[in-house]
Structure 1
């Protein structure tokens, strides 16, 4: 097996879509995308505690620096990937509401799958049980449920599952 792949590189993903490294000045905007994407689901499960969310987000932002998603020259979201020995783990993906449904998430995840396949790895993720729209996307992209927690479905994609 090859060594773990690096997190998604900066640069082009598809026409009009690229990734760039996060900057310290992006923090507030990335947190706003996080809130917009996940607050409704978190409120349903645990209730939203702003102080706790701020601390947890800050720790994850430092531990797994996101890539900023740029579409047609505008920052529209972020993606966080954690490289592991046997897989790439999609920690978070959040896109502006205005660009959801344009296929950007699918393109980003497709790039992640290609990167994982090139390194003989799988891709894993957790999706809130209440987020049926995201789970439907992951299913269309070849992810299968492989477990659950009280709040999440665990999903995985393995190249061997589609071979």
Structure 2
């Protein structure tokens, strides 16, 4: 577990370059498999980031769009939609250099503590191949559905950790 000082702050237009680079970091392994010129990869990533960014803004106009800072350096983002009975974690991404340091666990712990205090369930989507599923299971999330490569997870207020069922078990 890391001892970095963490804080959230609202994302602003001046953060778009960081957010675009963060998005690109999530696609680097995938794009390493294609034989595209760097300019084509850059154009593709820009188009995909813009599409995702605009989609989130349109679908969740009242969401919180937050940067995660560790020791005053931007290291990730978390997008949250707080409802009357449910917190939807729209997106949570850390720079690869900051994965595995306990930052994601601390971020989720803070969010779950706040949601539990308000009696809210918490939901998120995760790719069915993402190793973060182990973390989500430890924190009490369970699979409640699937959509293509994404598993839909939900955690009831104050839920005790439980195993996440494999996607194949869902019917």
Once the two structures are superposed, the pairs formed by residues 99-110 of structure 1 within 5 Å of their partners are 99-110=98-109
The one-character-per-residue Cα deviations of 1:28-55 (angstroms, maximum 9, x if unpaired) are: 211221232256579xxxxx96535522
Gap change, CA 1:141 and 1:161, over 3 Å in 2: closer
Give the corresponding residue for 1:138: 136
More relative contact order, 1 or 2 (CA 8 Å, 6+ apart):
1
Report the alpha carbon displacement of residue 130 of structure 1 after superposing the two structures with TM.
Answer: 2.2
Query: Are residues 1:34 and 2:26 paired?
Result: no
Q: Which residue of 1 aligns with 2:10?
A: 21
* Cα distance per residue 1:1-22 (max 9 Å; x no partner): xxxxxxxxxxxxx861111111
Q: Report the Cα distance in structure 2 between the residues aligned to 1:150 and 1:87, rounded to whole angstroms.
A: 23
Aligned to 2:121: 122
Deviation at 1:59, TM superposition (A): 3.3
Tell me how large the CA RMSD over aligned residues is: 2.7
Structure 1, unaligned stretches of length 5 or more?
A: 1-13, 43-47
Q: Does the Cα contact within 8 Å between 2:9 and 2:67 map onto a contact in 1?
A: yes
Whole-angstrom CA distance in 2 between matches of 1:110 and 1:19: 13
For normalisation by structure 2, the TM-score amounts to 0.74
Flag the structure with larger Rg.
Answer: 2
Unaligned runs of 5+ in 2: 32-40, 162-171
Give the TM-score normalised by the residue count of structure 1.
Answer: 0.77
Distance 2:87 2:24 in 1: 24
